[in-house]
């Protein structure tokens, strides 16, 4: 079972890796350890995430050998668009040119402890708070809620609850996209309210927090509030993805 109380105030991570298995494993390990992770399958996709505001990383993990935009050119492009620390990741040590540009190097396979040590080693360090998560830093899934479910009902029923929660979230995200496209602020508020309440009951605190933010957004003609809602939608997708990764570990197929 995951130690959800180990979740900390950790930097946002953008993971760039063309290998799907490697990308999924690293993303899952880091998510389980409390990191918020966005992932891209190649350099162009990573740049698109940053330029669109879909990802605002504080740490970038970049595979050193990928098809298309990669290596030194990709690192140059990332530096031009982000102030994040950039760590080269590879199963073999990259060349001196790339290492000289990177803030550090992580040899695959690596875990969250290796990333934490790297962040401490290469300055200036990103402060990692050991303060338990509070209102502004909710855990992906509350351990006490999951434990309570397991104490009062069969495991199959617990799995059914979370399967239904995730399925409902995907439906509501589709509804949310339509509401945002139609500038229907009342619908956005109602969907956000439903997400907040339902996910709070399931202990999905991170997603519930995103629902609360959606419940209170505003829109004024001529302002950038619509863009703000779009960013909230992207963050909601990331929170749902984090929840799904957690549930895959808790309820293996």
Specify whether the CB–CB gap between 2 and 46 falls below 8 A. no
pLDDT of amino acid 126: 41
User: Rounded to 10 degrees, what is the CA torsion of 25, 30, 34, 38?
Assistant: -90
User: Which residues in the chain come in under a pLDDT of 50?
Assistant: 1-8, 123-135, 223-224
Which H or E run contains 15? strand 13-16
pLDDT of amino acid 100: 84
Which long-range CB contacts under 8 A does 217-220 form with residues at least 24 apart? 217/185, 217/188, 217/189, 217/192, 218/185, 219/183, 219/185
Specify whether the CB–CB gap between 42 and 16 falls below 8 A. yes
**Among 43, 42, 112, 107, which residue's Cα sits nearest to residue 74?**
43
pLDDT of amino acid 194: 86
pLDDT of amino acid 227: 54
| Order of all β-strands in the sheet with 37-40 | 37-40, 13-16, 59-63, 85-90, 104-107
pLDDT of amino acid 31: 79
pLDDT of amino acid 171: 92
- The pLDDT tens digits of the residues spanning 73-103 come to 999 999 888 888 899 988 777 888 888 888 8
Strands (E), 79-172: 85-90, 104-107
φ, ψ at 216 (rounded to 5°):
-115, 5
Distance CA 250, CA 141 (A): 11
- The pLDDT tens digits of the residues spanning 42-73 come to 999 999 999 888 788 889 999 988 889 888 89
pLDDT of amino acid 138: 78
**b/e per residue, 149-187, with b = 16+ CB within 10 A?**
beeeeeeeebeeebeebbeebeebeeebeebbeeebbee
**Among 53, 58, 71, which residue's Cα sits nearest to residue 30?**
58
Domains along the chain with CATH numbers: 4-121 (3.40.50.2300), 143-250 (1.20.120)
């Amino acid at each position: 079972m995951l130690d959800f109380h180990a979740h900390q105030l950790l930097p946002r991570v953008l993971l760039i890796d063309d290998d799907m298995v490697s990308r999924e494993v690293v993303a899952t390990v880091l998510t389980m350890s409390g990191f918020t992770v966005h992932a891209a399958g190649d350099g162009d996709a990573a740049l698109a995430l940053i330029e669109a505001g879909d990802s605002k990383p504080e740490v970038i993990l970049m595979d050193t050998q990928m098809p298309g935009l990669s290596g030194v050119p990709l690192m140059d492009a990332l530096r031009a668009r982000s102030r994040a620390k950039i760590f080269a990741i590879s199963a073999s040590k990259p060349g001196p040119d790339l290492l000289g540009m990177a803030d550090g190097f992580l040899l695959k396979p690596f875990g969250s402890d290796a990333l934490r040590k790297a962040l401490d080693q290469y300055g200036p360090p990103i402060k990692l708070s050991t303060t338990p998560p509070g209102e502004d830093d909710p855990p992906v899934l509350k351990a006490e809620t999951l434990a309570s479910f397991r104490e009062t009902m069969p495991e199959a029923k617990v799995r059914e609850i979370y399967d239904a929660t995730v399925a409902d979230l995907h439906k509501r995200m589709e509804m949310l996209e339509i509401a945002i496209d139609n500038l229907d602020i009342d619908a956005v508020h109602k969907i956000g309210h439903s997400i907040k309440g339902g996910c709070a009951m399931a202990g999905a605190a991170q997603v519930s927090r995103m629902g609360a933010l959606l419940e209170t957004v505003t829109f004024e003609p001529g302002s950038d509030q619509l863009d703000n809602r779009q960013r909230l939608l992207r963050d909601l997708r990331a929170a749902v993805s984090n929840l799904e990764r957690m549930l895959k570990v808790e309820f293996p197929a």
